[in-house]
């Protein structure tokens, strides 16, 4: 007899040709705490009562065309799944999100040039992600954050400290390695079953969403972490909770996907 929103929370469903993909909103403290689990990150069958019986609400893309690689070029569902799997693996593999994004960005640019004439997309994905790229220094906020700020409007969680870059460089350099691992797991979870695959116009739009997740998280850390305090897992989890409150429960994913076409040009 629960209202639909209460019955589903913290579950977020994407239904496409692969089946029912279930992720959890990390605004839920219990879901956020799962990021501390040191077991290998895997996609698994959801047990009862985590998996819901019908009716299931979410983004239903079962009759939709596959995600776009770039405007005007469809992926095949197996090739898109390979890209998503590679992004998840990199987010977990690297001890630092900037290093993961460096390879994700470079590989995605290669994959955007794919066409069916080159053979299966999965092979192109594998070759593109085989090379690792070096990361630059932690930088300021990226355009994807500005897009989120535009969609949320004035919001206390989106207030950026004037000295954000300096704060984040200090925080990043002194952070507990466990905190970096938790951030990587959060980005991996954000990549799985991502709605922007069907809301946007290509792979760059999905990467922009992940970049926005990371930047919103960084802003929460910079806003709340006292000076001279090391970024630990407790602070990181609270920042992730607030980031998912913004990204999953405040931002309209359809509006993000439409506006993210600017990243595809």
Q: What pLDDT, in 10s, does the model give residues 74-126?
A: 999 999 999 999 999 999 999 889 999 999 999 999 999 999 999 999 999 99
Per-residue model confidence (pLDDT) at position 134: 79
Binned at pLDDT 50, 70 and 90, residue 137 comes out as low
Residue 194 has pLDDT above 70, yes or no: yes
Residue 2 has pLDDT above 80, yes or no: no
How confident is the model over 172-186, as a mean pLDDT? Answer: 94
Residue 257 to residue 169: CA distance in whole angstroms: 30
Structure tokens at 79: 């090739």
Q: What would you report as the CA-atom Rg of the chain, rounded to the nearest whole angstrom?
A: 18
How confident is the model over 200-210, as a mean pLDDT? Answer: 98
Binned at pLDDT 50, 70 and 90, residue 227 comes out as confident
How confident is the model over 12-37, as a mean pLDDT? Answer: 96
Residue 145 to residue 68: CA distance in whole angstroms: 22
**Could you give the percent of the chain with pLDDT greater than 70?**
99
Helix (H, G, I), strand (E, B) or coil at 112: coil
Residue 29 has pLDDT above 70, yes or no: yes
Q: What is the mean pLDDT of the chain?
A: 94
- What pLDDT digit, counting tens, does each position of 34-88 carry? 999 989 999 999 998 899 999 999 999 999 999 999 999 999 999 999 999 999 9
Q: Which of 3-12, 17-26, 113-122, 182-191 has the lowest mean pLDDT?
A: 3-12
Asked if residue 63 lies in contact with residue 15, where contact means CB atoms within 8 angstroms, the answer is no
Question: What letter does residue 229 receive in the DSSP assignment?
Answer: -
Per-residue model confidence (pLDDT) at position 223: 94
Residue 135 has pLDDT above 80, yes or no: no
């Amino acid at each position: 007899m629960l209202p639909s929103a209460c019955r589903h929370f913290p579950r977020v469903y994407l239904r496409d040709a692969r089946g029912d993909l279930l992720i959890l909103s990390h605004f839920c403290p219990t879901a956020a705490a799962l990021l501390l689990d040191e077991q290998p990150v895997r996609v698994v069958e959801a047990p009862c009562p985590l998996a819901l019986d019908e009716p299931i609400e979410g983004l239903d893309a079962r009759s939709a065309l596959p995600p776009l690689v770039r405007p005007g070029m469809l992926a095949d569902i197996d090739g898109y799944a390979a890209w998503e799997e590679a992004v998840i693996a990199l987010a977990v593999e690297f001890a630092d999100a900037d290093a993961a994004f460096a390879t994700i960005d470079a590989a995605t640019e290669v994959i955007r040039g794919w066409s069916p004439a080159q053979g299966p997309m999965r092979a192109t994905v594998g070759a593109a992600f085989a090379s690792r790229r070096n990361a630059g220094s932690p930088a300021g906020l990226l355009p994807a954050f500005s897009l989120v700020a535009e969609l949320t409007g004035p919001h206390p969680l989106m207030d950026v400290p004037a000295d954000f870059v300096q704060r984040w460089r200090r925080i990043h350099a002194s952070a507990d390695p466990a905190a970096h691992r938790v951030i990587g797991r959060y980005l991996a979870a954000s990549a799985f079953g991502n709605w922007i695959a069907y809301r946007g116009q290509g792979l760059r739009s999905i990467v922009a969403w992940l970049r926005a997740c990371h930047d919103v998280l960084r802003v929460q850390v910079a806003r709340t972490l006292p000076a001279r305090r090391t970024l630990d897992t407790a602070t990181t989890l609270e920042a992730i909770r607030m980031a998912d409150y913004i990204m999953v429960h405040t931002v309209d994913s359809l509006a993000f996907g439409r506006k993210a076409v600017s990243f595809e040009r």
